[in-house]
A and B are shown apart, each in its own frame.
Chain A
Amino acid sequence: MRLTLRIWRQPGPDADGAMTTYEVDGIAPEMSFLEMLDTLNERLITEGEDPVAFDHDCREGICGACGMVINGRAHGPERTTTCQLHMRHFADGDTVDVEPWRAAAFPVVRDLVVDRSAFDRIIGAGGYVTVPTGSAPEAHATPVPKPAADTAFEHAECIGCGACVAACPNGSAMLFTSAKVVHLNVLPQGAPERESRVLDMVGQMDAEGFGGCTNTGECAVACPKGIPLPSIAAMNREFLRAARKAPR
């Protein structure tokens, strides 16, 4: 299989970037998109050129490190992470555009690598439960209703890849933040910090320069883990409830 790739190359955060065309031959359909880029990079290195920089780690679709916009879609045409996107979804001779996540809050570091530490700061603002340290608690000490456990688990699936921000026309982090808020607020362990969590995380999200939600729904379509759009409504509900309660 042979593809024409047009990849965003940018040597540094403040440097100008441009789409650069590469012909890649010898692509097997069972290769992942990242393995295809590895093939290109091996050739670039042997030719003495800088390889294309991109983030990746587990390559199993569970870590959230990889991510690029492929033909205008975050993570490409399939609902999965870029590492789990296989070349059989492309046809021989296709031209494929590869760009980094685009958002003011995700500045480009180099080529396809963006700085997603804004997500870490949102988590730091409230995406945790404060528990006394010590030995592990008895598993049955805090009963969790089955529906709550299911909802929490579904939202805990968010790997923080940033596809929602990349897909949103407003560069909004509402789906990501809602996944984290719903995950913890639905559980009894998260109840003591229920109000401060949503107020602080939304405050940090706004401070990072993410846009607001205009309910276009692009985020939920792009999400490789299927976090549903109504989760944003659930976070709005939590936020309005917390704002109504006596502020402390």
Chain B
Amino acid sequence: MRWCRPTVADMALATRAVPRPSTLATLWRSTIGKKTVMAVTGVVMLLFLVAHMLGNLKIFFGAGDYNAYASWLRTIGEPALHHGWFLWIMRVGLVASVAGHVVSAWQLSRRDLAARPTAYVHRRPRASYATRTMRWGGVILALFIVWHILDLTTLTVNPRAEPGHPYENVVADFHNWYADVIYLVAMLALGLHIRHGFRSAAQTLGAVTRRGDRAFRIAGNVLALVLTAGFVAVPVSVMTGVLN
């Protein structure tokens, strides 16, 4: 065996009696690891939302195109995948993302609130509106997701509830003032959530550098604006009679 001079690293290692936990355990036990879960699941949901928003815009090409697009979604991956399997695989991934995002947010929030048990007597406004509303904005979005699935996926609360006719269901839905209000409030919350969340995810994943910081802030703002505008376009068009 070749003789090697002990390096500084060997000396440091010799003092470690307990082996390190695995990569996954290291991540899940640390605040940075939990934030990584939030960042990755957030990016997954964001990518889905971009596709969802672009798909929604097909509604402006008329009922035929929109309904054909909706039924095409169920044929993706055929014949390797059965009819509708692609959607189910995506739903499983999205539910896992929501669960990971919510559980991490809950655990981190509890920890954050415990770390500052005493408030300052002299209060002053802190951070931006988007930053301050991340937690309650997230709660609003979670409630919206439940309502949205009951409304346009299971059609449980939809006023028309005609399976296979999403165009008609959407238009019927947004003739109700309360559906418009719920939808508009949720999409504003979404925009604010992405405005802070996108740059946060980049920071957590270590993508932000001093030069790139501004670019990430701008990208987050653009994504927030485009997604909110794209999603809001549908109910606003129904309300103003552009879609009927």
- Interface residues, chain A, CB within 8 Å of chain B? 6, 8, 19, 69, 71-73, 97, 99, 102-105, 129-132, 168-172, 192-193, 196, 199, 202-203, 205-206, 209-218, 228-230, 232-240, 243-244, 247-248
Contacts and interface: CB of A to CB of B under 8 A. Distances in A.
Nearest to B118: A102
A233 B209 contact: yes
* Residue among B13, B34, B112, B115 with the highest chain A CB neighbour number at 10 A: B115
A103 B116 contact: yes
A214 B35 CA distance: 9
B32 interface: yes
Given A215-B131, A243-B23, A132 B206 contact: no
Interface-centre pick from B16, B26, B122 (highest chain A CB count, 10 A)? B122
Interface residues of B, number: 54
B123 A72 contact: yes
Interface in B17-40: 19-23, 26-27, 29-36
Contact of A247 (B21, B34, B209): B21
B117 interface: yes
Contacts of B208: 230, 233
Nearest to B110: A211
22 contacts: A72-B123, A97-B122, A103-B115, A132-B8, A169-B126, A192-B9, A193-B12, A196-B16, A211-B116, A212-B32, A212-B108, A214-B200, A215-B196, A215-B200, A218-B127, A230-B210, A233-B206, A233-B209, A236-B205, A237-B206, A238-B206, A243-B27
Contacts of B34: 212
A179 B16 CA distance: 25
B2 interface: no
A53 B127 CA distance: 31
Majority-rule SS of B interface residues:
helix
B161 interface: no
Nearest to B24: A243
A72 B124 contact: yes
Contacts of B22: 247
B11 interface: yes
B51 interface: no
A229 B26 contact: no
B199 interface: yes
B206 to A, nearest CB: 3
Contact of B32 (A6, A19, A170, A236): A236
A238 B26 CA distance: 13
Given A202-B32, A243-B27, A248-B19, A216 B116 contact: no
Given A132-B8, A193-B8, A105 B115 contact: yes
B121 interface: yes
Nearest to A232: B203
A129 B13 CA distance: 13
B131 A102 contact: no
Interface string B203-217: 111111110010000
Given A196-B12, A218-B126, 7 more contacts: A105-B115, A130-B12, A213-B35, A213-B203, A236-B203, A239-B32, A244-B23
Given A102-B120, A192-B8, A206-B30, A211 B210 contact: no
Contacts of A169: 112, 116, 126-127
A210 to B, nearest CB: 6
Contacts of B202: 233
B134 interface: yes
Nearest to A102: B118
